[in-house]
Amino acid sequence: MGFEVIWTKKAIDTFGQRINYLEENWTEKEIFNFTERVNEYLITLKTQPLMFRKSTRLKHTHIGVIIQ
């Protein structure tokens, strides 16, 4: 059983900005690789959320960073 990932508005906006940047400056391959990395990260986050650091501001929230 996995947990639900809830995207904040900031996360959605940032993700869209990253995709826009990749579309303007990189190839489809890089866009695909980035989205695959995000999908893999989300699967890990859903199944093993405790491996990420706890938020100091939000209760029951863990935070992670994706570096491409």
Kindly list the domain boundaries of the chain, sorted by start residue. Answer: 9-63
Helices 9-25 and 28-47 sit at what angle, rounded to 10 degrees?
150
Dist CA 68 CA 42 (whole Å): 14
Question: What number is the average pLDDT over the span 39-57?
Answer: 89
The residue ranking higher by pLDDT, 46 or 65, is 46
Q: Is the pLDDT reported for residue 44 higher than 80?
A: yes
Query: What pLDDT does residue 68 have?
Result: 61
Return contacts of 2-5, CB within 8 angstroms, 24+ apart. 2/46, 2/47, 3/45, 3/46, 3/47, 3/49, 4/46, 5/42, 5/45, 5/46
Please check the confidence at residue 56 and state whether its pLDDT lies above 90.
yes
| Digit-coded pLDDT (tens) for 8-43 | 899 999 999 999 999 999 999 999 999 999 999 999
